[in-house]
């Protein structure tokens, strides 16, 4: 997956490339009457996934191949993995993956897909609320694309950093906070600078921090995605 004009000059990169790639598959803000009133709890996500209708086999989130290209293969956690696209992409490339999601419905699809692709031995699917989870281990890579939980974005990212092994990486893809409405409740949007600041001078190195705009075609209509992308490395 290529993001045109991406690797250099990442900051403020407004790329209106038309691709059919990963939309986050969670267009909750689009059409919600009172999006700020939405509570992103288990009930919300269960109905989100069970009412979604036809399954869509989406391409991987384009920032995942871009940001992991130079990383040694190891263990990976996909936090808020949904139907498992990114977890399976990683497993397909040799990573030993744990996919965690609060929605049993999404995980059932993920598991079925991983079995169909012969990847089930390389992925452990865990149905839990990640904000109440206490795994007795860490991972070389923790990824989270468009996940948002009740605790808020920065609190979620801080929590996810606890799951990174010494020397490991945390890759965050979020919905960008902008002055213009792009269909996502403000409370689930974030600035890459604010994510990066969480990790500045705290035993982490910020390896990437940028915003990026792209147009995806999840169905017949284009959807513009404005993304915040941050990758940090634990100094161990």
> For residues 15 and 213, is the Cβ–Cβ distance under 8 A?
yes
> Residues 82, 99, 168, 185: which binds ligand SAM (CB under 6 A)?
82
Distance CA 13, CA 83 (A): 29
Residues numbered 11 to 50 that lie near ligand SAM (CB under 6 A) are 24-26, 40, 45
Q: Which is nearer to ligand SAM, 9 or 19 (CB)?
A: 19
Q: Is 64 in the site for ligand SAM (CB under 6 A)?
A: no
Distance CA 127, CA 150 (A): 17
> Residues 97, 106, 110, 232: which binds ligand SAM (CB under 6 A)?
106
Local structure of 89: helix, strand or coil: helix
What CA dihedral angle connects 23, 28, 31 and 32, to 10 degrees? Answer: -170
> Residues 76, 77, 100, 160: which binds ligand SAM (CB under 6 A)?
100
* Tokens at 6, concatenated: 């991406």
Shortest separation between residue 161's beta carbon and ligand SAM, angstroms: 15
Residue 11: Cβ within 10 Å count: 10
Q: Is 207 in the site for ligand SAM (CB under 6 A)?
A: no
Stretch that binds ligand SAM, among 1-9, 11-19, 29-37, 145-153 (CB under 6 A): 145-153
């Amino acid at each position: 997956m290529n993001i045109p004009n991406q690797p250099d000059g990442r900051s403020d990169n407004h790329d209106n490339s038309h691709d059919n790639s990963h939309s986050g598959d969670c267009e909750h803000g689009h059409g919600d009457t009172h999006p700020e009133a939405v509570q992103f709890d288990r009930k919300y996500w269960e109905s989100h996934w069970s009412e979604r209708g036809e399954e869509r086999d989406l391409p991987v989130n384009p920032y995942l191949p871009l940001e992991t290209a130079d990383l040694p293969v190891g263990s990976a956690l996909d936090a808020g993995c949904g139907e498992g696209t990114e977890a399976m992409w990683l497993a397909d490339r040799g990573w030993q993956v744990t996919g965690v999601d609060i929605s049993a419905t999404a995980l059932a699809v993920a598991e079925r897909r991983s079995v169909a692709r012969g990847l089930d031995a390389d992925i452990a699917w865990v149905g839990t609320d990640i904000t109440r989870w206490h795994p007795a281990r860490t991972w070389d890579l923790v990824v989270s694309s468009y996940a948002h939980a009740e605790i808020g974005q920065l609190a979620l990212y801080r929590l996810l950093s606890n799951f990174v092994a010494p020397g490991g990486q945390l890759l965050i893809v979020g919905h960008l906070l902008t002055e213009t409405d792009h269909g996502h409740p403000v409370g689930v949007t974030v600035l890459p600078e604010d994510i990066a600041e969480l990790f500045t001078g705290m035993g982490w190195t910020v390896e990437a921090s940028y915003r990026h705009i792209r147009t995806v075609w999840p169905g017949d209509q284009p959807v513009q995605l404005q993304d915040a992308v941050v990758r940090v490395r634990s100094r161990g």
